[in-house]
A and B are shown apart, each in its own frame.
Chain A
Amino acid sequence: MHIDVTAAGSVTVLKIDGRLDSNTSKELEDTVMGLVTSGTTRLLMDFGGVDYINSSGLRVLLMAFQHLKKDGGLLHLCDIKDYMREVFEISGYNEIFSIFPGQAEALAAFPE
């Protein structure tokens, strides 16, 4: 897995590539926690390059959401493949996360 961190205005964008599983989720967790601890409050995760996610990957997303929300922050997700969207629905996570088709829509949805 590879994570590319960039900034789009006030939003930090994480472009994730590869598999998000038991052996790689820790890397995403460390990246997210590093950003949250250093003051990031608006985070966008781009799943365009992710072809697999399991419960440990979803666990990291929930944890990121909970940490950001606690400090009034926001987490948006985008470009999740249809077959993976299904596990968001099965877990009820589709109701927790704001999920957008692409980066442009996800960035536009952050409040001014």
Chain B
Amino acid sequence: MSEQLSLRIDNSLPELDRLHSEVECFLARCAVTGREAYHIQLALDELVTNVICYAFEKEGGHVIDISLERGPDGVDMTIRDEGKPFNPLLAPTPDMDISPEKRRIGGLGIHFARSTMDRLAYDRINGMNILHISKKII
């Protein structure tokens, strides 16, 4: 039987600690460790942070549903929220050609998720943002 985790958090930044601990336990149960575990924690952290900071008018009082499943080829994740329509995959890639002194601070989170995950897909269904994320693990 495949391992699963379903978690509902409030749209507030302190909830990220709970997300991290629950995902840590889940990944340990699935024997996903080291670099792969860090990639998964980082992608979820960055993408959920975006939902907390941008999907709603203010922090608190809205739910974000997160689910993870360890399948035969890797880990499949879904983030669902009822916030404003927001497709993070349309966010521009940070400009690496700008000199370090002048580079804009921030804007890296989605770039990390794109670079470390094998699949990211966005759907807007019945007033919900649904983000599917997959990480292959051999």
Contacts and interface: CB of A to CB of B under 8 A. Distances in A.
Interface of A: 19, 21-23, 52, 54-56, 58-59, 62-63, 65-66, 69-70, 82-84, 86-87, 90-92, 95-96
Given A59-B105, A83-B38, A91-B111, 18 more contacts: A19-B20, A21-B45, A22-B13, A23-B16, A54-B46, A54-B109, A54-B112, A55-B108, A55-B109, A58-B108, A62-B100, A63-B105, A65-B100, A66-B101, A69-B101, A84-B38, A95-B100, A96-B100
A54 to B, nearest CB: 5
Contacts of B96: 92
Interface in B91-138: 94, 96, 100-101, 103, 105-106, 108-109, 111-112, 115-116
A91 B104 CA distance: 12
Q: Is the interface of A mostly helix, strand, loop or mixed?
A: helix
Interface string B1-34: 0000000000001101100100000000000001
A19 to B, nearest CB: 8
A90 B14 CA distance: 26
A54 B46 CA distance: 7
Given A21-B45, A86-B35, A91 B112 contact: yes
Contacts of B13: 22-23
A87 B105 contact: no
B112 A90 contact: yes
Interface residues of B, number: 26
Interface string B51-77: 000000000000000000000000000
B49 interface: yes
Contact of B45 (A22, A59, A70, A90): A22
A62 to B, nearest CB: 6
A52 B105 contact: no
Contacts of B35: 82-83, 86
A22 B49 contact: yes
B46 A90 contact: no
A58 to B, nearest CB: 6
A59 B111 CA distance: 14
B100 A87 contact: no
30 contacts: A21-B16, A21-B45, A22-B13, A22-B45, A52-B20, A54-B42, A54-B46, A54-B49, A55-B46, A55-B108, A56-B49, A58-B108, A59-B105, A59-B106, A59-B108, A62-B100, A66-B101, A66-B105, A70-B101, A83-B34, A83-B35, A84-B38, A87-B112, A90-B112, A91-B94, A91-B108, A91-B112, A92-B94, A95-B100, A96-B100
